[in-house]
């Protein structure tokens, strides 16, 4: 009986130590994430072909965000994206076109302001230099015909049989391709929103989790002493009675 009691006590202490260590490591993990979220994103400035950076139907890698890519294709449909904000925080309605970049694939492209839009001619070919952006998760407008509440290829998947790239492109330069000649298209461009970090969440949010996990570790560590104190008081009461 004594051996069994000792085994249970040892097992309980091991479980206690494991919980405290787990809380300590979870706190350290959140501390590292807080430091990473406060670190500016370093972007590779080399311009590469879109097809060399990522394939369609594959989730965009966080390290590819804000990369500059070049791609050639035709605009096959147009959408309105209201209440969008650029890098300076200026809000506006954007023109977002679906560009077919190969016989089987397409990607959403932010061409500029909705007010500057021209007639869509799917016969014309364009070459663009653009920044890669991750798809949006939050809605900025109502889901109406021809309107994108958020810029996300998942919203147009049922409107085309083409394979869609994850994320979208924000054009910095655009050229109309006519045979061997290219003429630059002049219009107001959108400055790409710049995510502060590839780590989701905010700095102080992660710091608060650090304190929460370490506080829980302290509570778990204090429990045995608290229980021993309660037992001692109960035994003193019984001896007095």
Tell me the C-alpha distance between 31 and 25, whole Å. 10
Q: Is the dihedral of CA 165, 124, 47, 79 positive or negative?
A: negative
Residue 200, helix vs strand vs coil: coil
> Which CATH architecture does the domain made up of 48-184 adopt?
Beta Barrel (2.40)
Are the beta carbons of 83 and 93 closer than 8 angstroms?
yes
- Beta-bridged to residue 80, according to DSSP, are 95, 147
pLDDT in tens, 137-165: 888 888 888 899 999 999 999 999 999 99
3-state secondary structure of 208: helix
Q: What is the pLDDT of residue 230?
A: 76
Which helix H or strand E contains 18, and what residues bound it?
Answer: helix 2-37
When the pLDDT of each residue in the chain is averaged and rounded to a whole number, the result is 86
For residue 62, what pLDDT is reported?
A: 79
Q: In the predicted model, is pLDDT for residue 225 greater than 90?
A: no
Confidence band of 14 (pLDDT split at 50, 70, 90): confident
Considering the chain, tell me which residue range(s) the CATH 2.40.50 domain(s) occupy: 48-184
Q: Are 80 and 93 in contact (CB under 8 A)?
A: yes
Examine the pLDDT at 70 and tell me if it is beyond 90.
Answer: yes
């Amino acid at each position: 009986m004594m051996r069994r009691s000792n085994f249970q006590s040892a097992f309980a202490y091991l479980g206690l130590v494991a919980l405290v260590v787990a809380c300590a490591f979870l706190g350290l993990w959140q501390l590292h994430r807080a430091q990473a979220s406060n670190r500016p994103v370093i972007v590779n400035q080399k311009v590469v072909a879109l097809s060399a950076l990522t394939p369609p139907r594959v989730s965009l890698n966080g390290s590819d965000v804000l990369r500059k890519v070049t791609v050639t294709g035709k605009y096959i449909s147009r959408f309105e994206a209201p209440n969008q904000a650029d890098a300076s925080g200026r809000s506006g309605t954007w023109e977002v076109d679906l560009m077919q970049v190969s016989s089987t694939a397409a990607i959403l492209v932010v061409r500029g302001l909705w007010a500057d839009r021209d007639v869509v001619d799917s016969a014309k070919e364009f070459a663009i230099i653009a920044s890669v952006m991750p798809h949006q998760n939050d809605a900025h407008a109502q889901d109406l015909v021809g309107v994108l509440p958020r810029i996300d290829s998942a919203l147009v998947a049922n409107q085309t049989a083409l394979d869609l790239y994850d994320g979208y492109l924000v054009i910095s330069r655009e050229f109309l391709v006519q045979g061997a000649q290219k003429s630059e298209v002049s219009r107001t461009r959108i400055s790409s929103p710049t995510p502060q970090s590839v780590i989701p969440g905010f700095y102080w949010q992660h710091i608060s989790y650090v304190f929460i996990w370490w506080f829980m570790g302290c509570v778990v560590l204090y429990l045995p002493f608290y229980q021993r104190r309660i037992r001692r008081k109960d035994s003193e009461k019984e001896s007095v009675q």
